[in-house]
Structure 1
Amino acid sequence: MIGNLLIAGHGWMVSVSALCAVPVRLTAAQRRQLTKIARGYTSPYRDRLRARIVLDADDDYPNAAIARRQHVSVDVVRKWRGRFAAEGMHGLGDRKRSGRPPRFTPVQQTQVKALACELPATSGVPLSRWSSAELADEAVTAGVVASISGSTVRRWLRRDALKPWQYRSWIAPRAADFARRAAVVLDLYNGVFDSQPLGEDDYVLCSDEKTSIQARCRCHPTLPPEQARLTRVEHEYERGGALSYLAAWDVHRGKVFGRCEPRTGIAPFALVEQAMTIEPYASTRRVFWIVDNGSSHRGQAAVDRMATTWPTATLIHTPIHASWLNQCEIYFSVLQRKVVTPNDFYDLADIEARLEAFQNHYNLAARPFNRRYTKHDLDLPLKRLAAHHSGPPAATA
């Protein structure tokens, strides 16, 4: 019978049924690519198998022979041979699969996310913050879902960047004239005062106090880092007292100067005298001192005292709870990271020497901070905060 007819070809016997197989002809580039995949040790097994099937098909092996060579069924050979003949290299990839049917509806997902956006006390749960597992338990208790895992909840929340287990503190401005006083400070940073640009003989200084820098003498010396080992600092220490560091930052020149005092108060505010007796501040037209509302320079009394002692100096207070407006705080953050932490000083003299040395070192490469925040940028959060406190608009009759 015709189905049993055998013919000779390439040194083996081929059945007539093999002649019906889809022909495969590879280009030189395709053969190099498939050979690389078939011989690659890092290639997935399924990719190596499919590449070998196509290579054998290009060598005119029948499907049955390819199945024996690759230890698979004829149907598998026929499948990948046909896909390559129809689609080329793209046909050797997996088809998109529908996957397992979803267990949860979009409404249930939205309800769980809405639950995460509420404080636990709203649901009567004695917690301060939600975790993924606790949200999963509450979703089951509230009847939103029959059962759900904490990992599924976390995956849903991650899509919308929701992290109810994290928090950050904030404080609302209390001063009635917050916007006006903040605008004065921000204008000075941008070279403007009373709607007039500052001159070349006008200077802006930010001053602040870093209190209670303790001398903690470690019971054992600090060990330097080594390979696969961090710096080691002894946990136990002996207290050697504390100092306060007073500093002033020249906003537009990018220079800092300061001094250490045993305590804060009106007398230690002699930092003003230290600055106003050196150039260029001693002979300039105006020097604006931006300070917070600390006890040593609070209120109108401090303003009058400054004007009486130094007629060219003008004291500008930041609003209450707005120390972030003082650029000296930025320098203090650098000081905290690079000098004070970890606290490892022998005594108060060591603290004073280290702070003075760092101040001189910092001034060698210091430059003004790239601060572009203006009073117009402040308007948006203030308006949003005002709308939040005023509540939703009342319904009209």
Structure 2
Amino acid sequence: MRMISEFTIELSDIDRRVLTQRATRVRSEVRDSLRARIVLNAGEGRSNAAITRDFSVCVDTVRKWRRRFSAGSVEGLKDLTRSGRPRRFTAMAVAEVKVLTCALPAEVAVPLARWSYRELAAEAITRNVVDSVSVSTVRRWLHADAIKPWQCRSWIFPRDPAFAFKAGRVLDLYDRIWDGVPLGPDEYVISADEKSQLQALARRHPTLPPAPGRIRRQEFEYRRGGTLAYFAAYNVHRGRILGRCAPTTGIEPFNALVEQVMHTEPYASAKRVFWVVDNGSSHNCARSIDRMHDAWPRTRLVHLPIHASCLNQVEIFFSIVQCKVVKPQTFRIWPHSRNDS
């Protein structure tokens, strides 16, 4: 005898259209498509047993979705809200771990420079914040608030009381203005500085170039050739560089750079040459201004504010040198300077 379900399905045109879309749409979830097809077949008057046989599902599954649709229409085919597993950690415990993360390890008597997930988990257990916690759980808590304890960003306060005046004066020079008067065609602006502590390292074996299926290979062992300092003078408006290397930094190698530039045209016959420098030991304080003017009366040494080397245009050139010349550190060293590392 045929069993008649107590939940008779009568589909409206709207319900039939929505269910047909779910059943035939390629990107529908499999579960949503199956539920829609069960209800559509039930709406055609087919029995639970026939639907079970056609879709290879349990008869209780067919009964469930027939009943749910009968009670709530299309909305009844949605999954019910689930309570999920009970929370293991209280909101207070999570907050205390985040507070611990935002403190430097030294502030809480931990001999570390920075936290890691594993160390935070261990410290939370030591402080009885939680009985136990996994590293992945701590990672998930911090990720929710985008807290990354291993990252840092350097900062510094401008402490030069004449910062605005000195910076404005240099920026005017970059715009070819001095004391409110435009510079003439025979006046030049030089940005100068030194790049110190350049290690001259020579690899024991030649570097192998990249090849199909192989990246460039560089020998790990090296020979030391000492350290060098690179002094550079950058013509701000013409983009020209004059430079020299020296064993160390200091007043004498900087003066040698100035002499090299001032004996080179067009600076040798210029009306004035402005030298923009930072407050490094090679050219700081008022004595450096007097010393340079006495040696080269047509020059004018202009200091940047303290901690404002970012305004020095030659730093852009140094960054290019660092990326394209210094790295990777492979130099050709004279035989008499080779020392094993």
Q: Percent identity?
A: 52
The equivalent residue for 1:110 is 95
- Please point out which of 114, 117, 123 is paired with 2:108: 123
Q: Alpha-carbon deviations, 1:270-303, whole Å to 9, x = none?
A: 3334444556655655433211233432332321
> What secondary structure sits across from 1:127 in the alignment?
coil
Q: Alpha-carbon deviations, 1:287-330, whole Å to 9, x = none?
A: 33211233432332321233234444321223444433323222
Structure 2: distance between partners of 1:104 and 1:19: 44
- Please point out which of 294, 310, 313 is paired with 1:324: 310
Please say if residues 101 and 120 of structure 2, whose CA atoms lie closer than 8 Å, have aligned partners that are also in contact.
Answer: yes
Aligned-pair distance for 1:208?
A: 1.3
The equivalent residue for 1:259 is 243
Structure 2: distance between partners of 1:69 and 1:98: 33
The equivalent residue for 2:278 is 292
- Please point out which of 146, 152, 155 is paired with 1:161: 146
Change (3 A) 1:81 1:282: farther
Please say if residues 16 and 40 of structure 2, whose CA atoms lie closer than 8 Å, have aligned partners that are also in contact.
Answer: no
Structure 1: distance between partners of 2:175 and 2:144: 40
The equivalent residue for 1:229 is 214
Structure 2 unaligned blocks of 5 or more: 335-341
The equivalent residue for 1:142 is 127
Aligned-pair distance for 1:65?
A: 1.7
Structure 2: distance between partners of 1:84 and 1:312: 94
Please say if residues 187 and 193 of structure 1, whose CA atoms lie closer than 8 Å, have aligned partners that are also in contact.
Answer: yes
Structure 2: distance between partners of 1:292 and 1:219: 38
For the pair 1:151 / 2:136, whether they are aligned, the reply is yes
- Within a 5 Å distance, the mapping from 1:74-89 to structure 2 comes to 74-80=59-65
- Please point out which of 24, 36, 48 is paired with 1:35: 24
The equivalent residue for 1:23 is 11
Aligned-pair distance for 1:17?
A: 3.5
The equivalent residue for 2:329 is 343
Please say if residues 52 and 62 of structure 2, whose CA atoms lie closer than 8 Å, have aligned partners that are also in contact.
Answer: yes
Aligned-pair distance for 1:36?
A: 4.8
- Within a 5 Å distance, the mapping from 1:178-193 to structure 2 comes to 180-189=165-174, 193=178
Change (3 A) 1:138 1:61: same
Structure 2: distance between partners of 1:52 and 1:29: 11
For the pair 1:61 / 2:50, whether they are aligned, the reply is no
Aligned-pair distance for 1:114?
A: 1.8
Please say if residues 10 and 43 of structure 2, whose CA atoms lie closer than 8 Å, have aligned partners that are also in contact.
Answer: no
The equivalent residue for 2:230 is 245
Please say if residues 242 and 262 of structure 1, whose CA atoms lie closer than 8 Å, have aligned partners that are also in contact.
Answer: no
Amino acid in the other structure paired with 1:164: P
Please say if residues 241 and 347 of structure 1, whose CA atoms lie closer than 8 Å, have aligned partners that are also in contact.
Answer: no
Aligned-pair distance for 1:35?
A: 3.0
> What secondary structure sits across from 1:293 in the alignment?
coil
Q: Alpha-carbon deviations, 1:188-243, whole Å to 9, x = none?
A: 4566654x364464543321112354443322211122344321100112334554
Q: Alpha-carbon deviations, 1:110-139, whole Å to 9, x = none?
A: 322222222333333333322223323333
Please say if residues 204 and 290 of structure 1, whose CA atoms lie closer than 8 Å, have aligned partners that are also in contact.
Answer: yes
> What secondary structure sits across from 2:282 in the alignment?
helix
Structure 2: distance between partners of 1:82 and 1:328: 78
Structure 1: distance between partners of 2:173 and 2:62: 78
Structure 1: distance between partners of 2:76 and 2:269: 82
Q: Alpha-carbon deviations, 1:137-177, whole Å to 9, x = none?
A: 33333343343333222222223332223445555556565
TM-score, length of structure 2 as denominator length: 0.76
Greater shift, 178-187 or 139-148, is seen at: 178-187
> What secondary structure sits across from 1:308 in the alignment?
helix
Structure 2: distance between partners of 1:16 and 1:261: 98
Please say if residues 4 and 47 of structure 2, whose CA atoms lie closer than 8 Å, have aligned partners that are also in contact.
Answer: no
Structure 2: distance between partners of 1:256 and 1:81: 82
Aligned-pair distance for 1:257?
A: 0.5
